Amino acid sequence: WKAVVFDMGGVLFPPLFFGFRKYEWENGISWGVFSGLFKEDDSNFAFGRAMKGEITLSQFYQECQDECERYAKQKNFKLPKNFSIRKMFNSGFGTGTIMQNVLTAINCLRNNGYKVALLTNNWADDTERRFFVAAAMLKFRRRFDYIFESSRIGMAKPDAEIYQYVLKEMNVRASETIFLDDSPKNCSGAEKLGIKSIIVKNTFQALNDLSKLVNIEFDDNAVPYCDIKGFAHGYVVNQKGVKIHFVEQGQGPAVIFCHGWPECWYSWRHQISYVAELGYRAIALDQRGFGESSCPHDVEEYSTEKIVSDLLFLMDTLGLPTATLVGHDWGGMIVWACAQHYPERVRAVAGVNTPFVPTDPKMGTLARITRRPGAYDYQLYFQKEGVAEAELERNIRRTFLCLFRGASNEDKLNLSGKVNTSNVRERGGFLVGFPDNPRRSIHLSEEELQFYVEQFTRTGFRGGLNWYRNLDNNWRWNCRVANRKILQPSLMVTATYDKVLTPELSLRMNDWVPNLTRKELDCGHWTQLERGGDFIINLMIYLKTELLNLPSFISPNELNQVLGDWLGKLHKSAMSSQTSIKANFGRCLISETVLGISPTIWLYPLEVLGISGYEAFAVCLFSPVLVGIGPIRRLVFSANGLTALRILMILALTSYEAPTTLSRLIAFSIGTGIAMLASVGSFYAKSTVDRSAAFWGKVLGFLALHASRVYFKSLIPALAYTSARNVVIAFGIIAAIDRRLTMTADSSVDETIKHAKKPFWPLVSLGYGSLLYLIHWIFSEASLVTRWGVRPYPDHGPQPYPWGALVLVTLTIGVLLSSKFTPVTSISLSWLGMAMLWWVIGCIAFTGLYLTHTYVAFAAGLLLGAYAFSIWPYLFDLLTLCPPARTYGLSLVTYLCFVLYTVWTIAFNFVPGGEYTRETYHYKIIAISACIGLTLIHYKYPQVSSSILSKSGNSYSHTAFPSLTGNDGKRSPWRSFNKDVHKGLILILIVSLIGFGTRYNPTAYERPALKEPKRFTAMIWNIRYGFDNNGWQSFDRIVDMINNTESDFVGLMECDCARPFVGNNDLGVFLGEKLGMYVDYGPATRDHTWGLAYARISRGIISDTEVQTAKFEIPSTAKYKDNTEVTHDRNQVPVDARYPTRFGEVFVGHYSGMDHHYHMSTPKYFYRRGSK
């Protein structure tokens, strides 16, 4: 076989009649009623005449319309009122797209030397669709060796003469030709001449049959055929006589390709056709010293400044005010330099393999390489004129056979491990150690190799080598703009196996190139050679992570897919990305802060889980593991899915209006699980902006919750009061919808440290979960720190108000310090040393809070708060570098384990094994400190030169402190990007301090002085943390109850505030201010247990508790005797000594209503016989 001929409709495109059938069905016309009129080979009908080009498509519409109307009258049926042949054909044209598997087969056939033709019965299109037809046929002319259109040659299938014409033009015999068509009639006509025909009923089956005939496997990754004869060549000559040669193809916005060493425009041949087909004007030039461009002799003629001027002169001559620049190797250096020096001329910029490296004004490039050559030793070898030229030009064919190699084991040469670019001078030459006659690369055809050999035989290597001899000239020129950032939309394509331009060199680019998209290809240095490609399926679909799992050799399609995707985004949004990031972050942060106040794990309602039988609901915290399931993962990471989850999370607060505690618990537990899933979608968002906004929104939301609790006397307003809850729900839904509107359109993953060694995810889970618990346990309410070290009267230590204000101040300082606690090695202190020192300080603070008392413990708690909040962003960074499902899921398991251990520690008498956990907080403190410390020191970010750090603000972070803005080149990325975070911190702190000021020593009312100072009422009550028999919060009802008893002294049990599973409410603060009473907290939080609590499990609901109350009288003398008689007759008791009348009410059994009932029929009054 020598030739394969394809039909168009039914082979390259779905059959036209699909659309016809759809139109007939929609308009109530019998199926195929007009099929007799559409005979391609019959000139008696308009369809046949159109196919042979006798009439145009517009004429056909009118004539065929008349034919259909006459035909309907003959057959005695009525056409629909709005029947239109034009609409019927337009319906057929819109039925499908190009069959990509057929294009793949065409690529493979042409690469294997087959002649490929398109033979189609079509018409001369003069309708409004003609521009689409022209564009499509232009693409096909680049795909096929021959295109035969019936309307151009006056013949139509299945006439024998059209097949004879095709065979003659292709210079093949019928027995050497295969024909594919969906029409049996057309295939029959070809077979009569001896042409092998395949009837296409299913393209997959037809291509399978074709593959067997030609004995070629149609690989989707086959290298697309490239015909350079289709490129237009041009030349421009500047005033000094320097000639620049270029090739171009296509129309539209200009994309200019700049090659590297030792290459020429030919290296971009696959990209030229591809980009042109996307609707761009693709231009590739021979840069100075290469190909058909001028090759001046003087070294100074090859500075970056002059080469950039060549590029600008080309743009000027072609009338291009701006262009998108794409560069590989040295070409990458040129396009980055042009974008930095001439930002007004560069619409967007892409570096392939070559990253942007900021200039260090303190040391020249050549001096730096000389000091530490490393992989750049070969550049020092190139410095002496004539030496490298002689070696490389000795056998130019061998030079390219040695250099142009892929990264796969199949393509590598068997070289000694000592042959690399870091020992060229030691080896005595660039090619020393390579075989004398190496085999040709599997990526390079003989024709392509010969093109390079011919080019460099004419020019030699001196021009290209002179680029390396201008390193210091380039450095001096770039020092002029050393502080400039590149703000244009940018693309960085790294190659995994490039040994010189390694992916790690690009890690700091975000500091200097804020609007950066990153991609990595699984190849070596010659990216276009290995991953060039031409026509890719689904052009505008993002390159996903499966690229990393590709086999060692696949076809070079990926680079084109990356470029096509990136150019498509630029076409839609031009240069709006930088502006939108800057404008939207503050708005995103506000919405995320509102969402951060919503139900999250520090609000989880475990109050009825402790010993109630519903502990299983705690598994809702583990919902992130569900992200490992495909459909759930797609839901969580889609914009609409994440928005839906957030709205459901907010609506879970309505569960507090549920009729029963169990229904509320179920609903809120589901909401909490959804909240955890939403957190995964937010924290692991593809966009750096969304990810950073989500994290800082959670931090600010946490502090905003702090501020709200100041105004609500320690209570969580959304859980305690319906009105506050409604406000949170309303604003939460608005925030969720607003975040959907402000989500960053760029969904490319920020892979800044993708190539660095990843953190150990189990350790990160333990560390982050431990930190999360520490923050919620001690710092989720302002009074907690003061309660940890409190002592009984009179030396009680700092009180929650006003000392709690210092807690919020310290937490704010900790957040501000977090921008300094980044994994960047300073000159005076290593990262490990800094992390160890800060961790030791945190451990000392934790120990001080646990072992000391009053003001010393309070100071230690403040230091611990600053420590915890300063490392929170860093640990969060590590979290987002690890797999989301297992890492975040295990961190929440860690969190819950600490919660349950707290229960085991204080409720030891009611849990199995409690005797071993009683009063063992120190074990938990040790575990938390160890997990956090090991996480801190086990991993550090890759390092770069100190000059880069000095310009990037000495800080770097994957998520918390991304370098996305800052256009002056001087300001720290943290200050320029996160100024909105600063504003939020300060605003929340001011609001909190105002709340503290208004609450300092406030009382709702003054309790009147006792008429009898020596006579008082005392009571003792186990209030079970403020929850009633059915688990509903009853804080205000407790106040009413105490007022009803007219008690002057109240002893409360189970009111400890450091219980994260019940909201960390400080009921001492709440009741003290509500009742206007002095509060003595007794033993410190760390010492409390449930050892004295009375409780009973009954039907899954904790039983009601008893209130014991008594009136006492302080005797006037020490010689008093206790009263021994008792009476129930209140009339025998002085009025001022009687209990309130409600104590006469009687209620038998348990009671679980919302108001109070008294079980005792009447109080007992004690007296001595003979006295009152």
| C-alpha span between 253 and 39 (Å, rounded) | 43
Contact 259, 251 (CB under 8 A): no
Q: Is 149 strand, coil or helix? A: strand
For β-strands 1101-1102 and 1107-1113, DSSP reports them as: unpaired
| C-alpha span between 381 and 426 (Å, rounded) | 10
User: What six digits make up the tokens of 672?
Assistant: 């909490």
Torsion, CA 206, CA 208, CA 209, CA 212, rounded to 10: 160
Closest CA relative to residue 596, chosen from 739, 743, 695:
695
Active-site residues, by number, are 329, 468, 525
| C-alpha span between 334 and 988 (Å, rounded) | 48
End-to-end CA distance of the chain: 127
Residue count (the chain): 1172
Contact 198, 211 (CB under 8 A): no
For β-strands 1165-1167 and 243-249, DSSP reports them as: unpaired
Going across the sheet that includes 196-199, the strands are: 146-149, 115-120, 3-6, 177-181, 196-199
Place of tokens 């521009």: 131
| C-alpha span between 165 and 566 (Å, rounded) | 44
Phi-psi label, residue 1046: left if phi above 0, alpha if psi -120 to 50, beta otherwise: left
Tell me, what DSSP letter sits at residue 256?
E
| C-alpha span between 992 and 357 (Å, rounded) | 45
Q: Is 1036 strand, coil or helix? A: helix
User: What six digits make up the tokens of 541?
Assistant: 């679909």
Contact 85, 102 (CB under 8 A): no
In 195-312, at which residue ranges do the beta strands (DSSP E only) sit?
196-199, 232-237, 243-249, 254-258, 281-285
User: What six digits make up the tokens of 956?
Assistant: 């770097």
For 664-725, give the secondary structure using H, E and C.
Answer: HHHHHHHHHHHHHHHHHHHHCCCCHHHHHHHHHHHHHHHHHHHHHHHHCCCCCHHHHCHHHH
Amino acid identity of residue 471, one-letter, is: L
Contact 818, 960 (CB under 8 A): yes
Residues 6 or more apart in contact with residue 1171 via CB below 8 angstroms: none
Write the DSSP assignment of 160-175 as a string of letters. Answer: HHHHHHHHHHHT--GG
| C-alpha span between 243 and 229 (Å, rounded) | 22
Q: Is 491 strand, coil or helix? A: strand
Contact 578, 514 (CB under 8 A): yes
| C-alpha span between 217 and 785 (Å, rounded) | 72
User: What six digits make up the tokens of 34?
Assistant: 């007009």
| C-alpha span between 874 and 935 (Å, rounded) | 10
Q: Is 303 strand, coil or helix? A: coil
| C-alpha span between 867 and 888 (Å, rounded) | 22
Q: Is 1051 strand, coil or helix? A: strand
Tell me, what DSSP letter sits at residue 13?
B
Place of tokens 């300073």: 826
Phi-psi label, residue 814: left if phi above 0, alpha if psi -120 to 50, beta otherwise: alpha
Q: Is the peptide bond before 717 cis (omega within 30 degrees of 0)?
A: no
